Amino acid sequence: MSSTPRTPPTPASSVPGLRAAHARSLTRRMLSGEGAVELTAYRAGETLSSAVHGVSRTGQLVVADIPNLFHSLGAFHTPEDIEVRVDIVKDAADHGLNLRLASVHLLGTLRWCRDTAQVEALGLQGRVADLVQDVGPRVRVGVVTTERVLLHDCSGVNAHGEAVIVEASAAPSPADALADAVLATAPQVLANVADAVLDGEIAGWAEPLNVPETDDLTVDPVHCVDVDHHCVSLARFAGDQGWVVQVPLPSPSESSPLQDSPRAWHHLLGSLPSRLTADLAS
């Protein structure tokens, strides 16, 4: 791959609907607990950055925090509803990239649960449930209500209604096995997959990345930055150019539930143009 300037394929013409589906999937994943959350009580000018977050089985956005001698809730310590801004950030899986993958933002109202009965009625799951189970009643659990959720990633801003939070309550299981399969793929094959998208040979889309002159990225010209059941995200670098390349996975069928296993990834590799298959055998 040369460093000659190139124009990535047009997402709307090459993968209609897949880009929007990926944005919604990423939003659901981040709401359900991926990434780090920060709550700001903007009228009081205070921020809470030690909380964990998720979506309950009843479809509500929940947060939990443990006040102690070294950390109090400050303005958040009130039985009244609190107007808050919620920011969730998720970085690339390869922290050496120093790349912010995406952020979710919303304005809403936080209300703390008053007793354990209210907490139990939420049907907690994920990291919030684990924290409550490990620590017990000292954990403060609250519910955030909102009408609009914004996802900001390398492709821009995507707005979602509150229904996306309910959808996140039934988020699919983590794609750990799929991530292992992608990370076990030879770097040259990953580079070939990214190049095939950039050259319009397979479905996908890409967004340019600004590559700082001080960063030495030539040793590892490709990185896996994110994986979910719909899409693999790769960072591809060549010379002074960089892209985040999104590679949609094959759609599942009744006889072959590809998106539930690494078979989706291997199926994609098997469908690569013939000029790329030599790297698979090496």
Judge contact between 90 and 35, C-beta under 8 A. Answer: yes
Judge contact between 44 and 72, C-beta under 8 A. Answer: no
Per-residue model confidence (pLDDT) at position 219: 59
Write down the domain spans for the chain.
19-168, 174-281
Partnered with residue 144 across adjacent β-strands are 61, 110
Q: What is the CATH number of domain 19-168?
A: 2.30.110.10
**pLDDT above 70: percentage of residues in the chain:** 82
Residues in the chain where the model's pLDDT stays below 70: 1-16, 68-73, 171-172, 212-219, 252-261, 274-282
Per-residue model confidence (pLDDT) at position 15: 60
Q: Each residue of 218-272: pLDDT tens digit?
A: 557 888 999 988 889 999 988 778 899 999 988 765 445 555 668 889 888 988 8
Q: Each residue of 22-41: pLDDT tens digit?
A: 899 999 999 999 999 999 99
Going edge to edge, which strands form the sheet with 231-238? 205-209, 241-248, 231-238, 222-227
Partnered with residue 5 across adjacent β-strands are none
Per-residue model confidence (pLDDT) at position 238: 85
